[in-house]
Structures are given as C-alpha cells and as structure tokens.
Structure 1
Amino acid sequence: MARGIDYGNLMHRAMRGLIRSVLEDVAEHGLPGAHHFFITFDTTHPDVAIADWLKERYPSEMTVVIQHWFSGLEVTEDGFSVTLNFGNSPEPLVIPFDAVRTFVDPSVEFGLRFETQSDDDEDEEDEDEADEEDEEDPAPRQEAEVVSLDQFRKT
C-alpha cells in the first residue's frame, strides 16, 4: 500500500507552531508596537473552556481580540489560556490550537486561516453547483479586471 505525504496536516501543524511562537513571545515580552490579534476559534471543540454565558452567546465560533486589556497569557504545546475583559468582566479562556480557525494581526496585514473538512466539503458542493449551472446555461467568459489596492495601503 502506497502512502502519501499529507501536506495539508503538515502545513496546519507548522502554522499552529507559528501562532504558538508568537504567543510565547507576547507572553514573555508583551505586545510590541501596534501589534494585536484577532483570533477566531471553534467554541464546540471539546477542549475549549469558556464561561457558560459566552458559550451560549457564541455557540459555534467566537472571535477574541488580544490588544489593550489581557492578562495571564500562558502558552502550552497544545494551546493557550488568557483572561480577557468582556464589559468590565474578566473571563478566563482556554483555547487549544486545534480549535483556532483564523489568526490575524491587522497591524502588519498578516493572517492565517485554517481550512476544516466541512469548509472543503462546502467548497466542493459550490464547485459542483457551479459546474451544473455552467452545463445548463453556458455564459461567455469575461476578462478579469485587475484592481490596484495601493490606494488602500497604510502610509
């Protein structure tokens, strides 16, 4: 039986390692400059630990911001814990790296997105539907328009 290289899982492991390294540095030295993070995670992951009221409010996923007010950031091999302020109410969160869906640092326009199996299935369904539509009513293809994003860059 031939075995293949699972590049998808290898890439996810490397990206989670990058997040771990960044958070370890922040835990030790604090956030440098204007850096801050938007982290979206799966609240249904079995190892996520958040307050019941947060779980009720965010039943499938939640995005947190690590910027001005956070404390107790601890990073392990498998995830991180941090206390964040929600309306003057400090709440501890435990987030495994496997639950992270996106990690963004908008101060430097950096972001990671983790594809899940359900995302892949939805993409395949969308492609199948698009193929069916093309077969029913083939429309002439139009040339793509290239748009410069330079005007939106920070200076």
Structure 2
Amino acid sequence: MSQGIDYGNLMHRAMRGLIQEVLEGVAAEGLPGDHHFFITFDTGHPDVEIADWLSDRYPGEMTVVMQHWFSDLDVSDEGFAVTLNFGDAPERLYIPYDAIKTFVDPSVEFGLRFETQDGDDSEPPQRPRPAEVKPREQAADKPSEKKDADVVSLDSFRK
C-alpha cells in the first residue's frame, strides 16, 4: 500500500455493487411501488452494447428509463442487459456498471453520480474526485430560499 488508500475507487465499487443488488431484486421481483430508474451511461464505453442507430443518435451519453415497459432484465457481476422500448421498437442493451454515470430513482429522491477524471490514464490522478450520493436537488426550484451563513463574533458572548 505504498500509494495509499484509493477511497474513490473503493466507493465506486461499493456503489456499483448497490446498483447490482437493486437490479437483481428487480429482476427477481419486478419494480415495487412507484420505483423507477433513470440510468445515464457512456455510450462510447468499449463494453456497451446498443444498436448502431442508438449510438449514432447518442454519441456521448444516453439516459434510459426503466419504469413501465422493460423486459428480459439479466444482471451479472459486470453489468446488466435489458430490453427497452424505443418508439414501439424493442431494443436489447448491455450496460456495464463501469459505463454508468448516474443512477437515479426519483420516486424516493435517491441518486448516485460517478465522477470521472479527464486526462491521460497512464498517470495516476493526483486527487480522485469521489462519487456523490445525494437526493434530488430542490434548491434550484426555490432559489429565493437560499440564505447566506450568519457570522457571529464570540466577543458578544464574553463578559
């Protein structure tokens, strides 16, 4: 461990394990209640398998929705395959967990975002950017409620 602990990669692996576990449950039991997923992934990832017309239409990233109509969800340790409906045309997709950029379940305001380092992969990153786990942003809906912090001097409390 001469380089130190790579918390960023450890967190990403744990979060991808969470996605795998959630999808395994959905494959076995279906989507419970109002749960549904928005999954954004890198269409240029070498292991992504999507129709040519989809990769042409979405050359960088694509967001798919798993809600009302999906079938044949097959979950593995490396990724998942699912058939989704695109304008009444079913298409099979394979998405490796490493290609996922965001995983959101808006029914419970849960989301994961995977941060990446841009640049040359031959050099180790100076400081990895950790993944974020946060609820859906609501501050954008109500910008007027944002308040600056109050600074209080401790001198006012001294006797």
1:53-72 paired onto structure 2 within 5 Å: 53-72=53-72
Aligned CA RMSD, in angstroms, stands at 2.0
1:145 is matched with 147
1:94 is matched with 94
Secondary structure (helix, strand or coil) at the match of 2:71 reads: strand
- 1:2 is displaced (CA, Å) by 2.6
Structure 1 residues not aligned, in runs of 5+: 125-143, 147-155
1:6-17 paired onto structure 2 within 5 Å: 6-17=6-17
In 2, Cα distance between the equivalents of 1:93 and 1:67?
15
Question: Residue 27 of structure 1 aligns to which amino acid in structure 2?
Answer: A
Structure 2 residues not aligned, in runs of 5+: 120-124, 130-145, 149-159
Question: Residue 40 of structure 1 aligns to which amino acid in structure 2?
Answer: T
1:105-124 paired onto structure 2 within 5 Å: 105-118=105-118
Residue 2 to residue 14, structure 1, CA distance change in 2 (3 Å): same
Structure 1 stretches of 4+ moved >6 Å:
none
TM norm structure 2: 0.75
- 1:71 is displaced (CA, Å) by 0.2
Q: What is the total number of aligned residue pairs between the two structures?
A: 125
1:153 is matched with none
Question: Residue 55 of structure 1 aligns to which amino acid in structure 2?
Answer: S
**Cα displacement string for residues 16-41 of structure 1 (whole angstroms, at most 9, x for unaligned residues):** 00000000000000000000000000
In 2, Cα distance between the equivalents of 1:91 and 1:85?
6
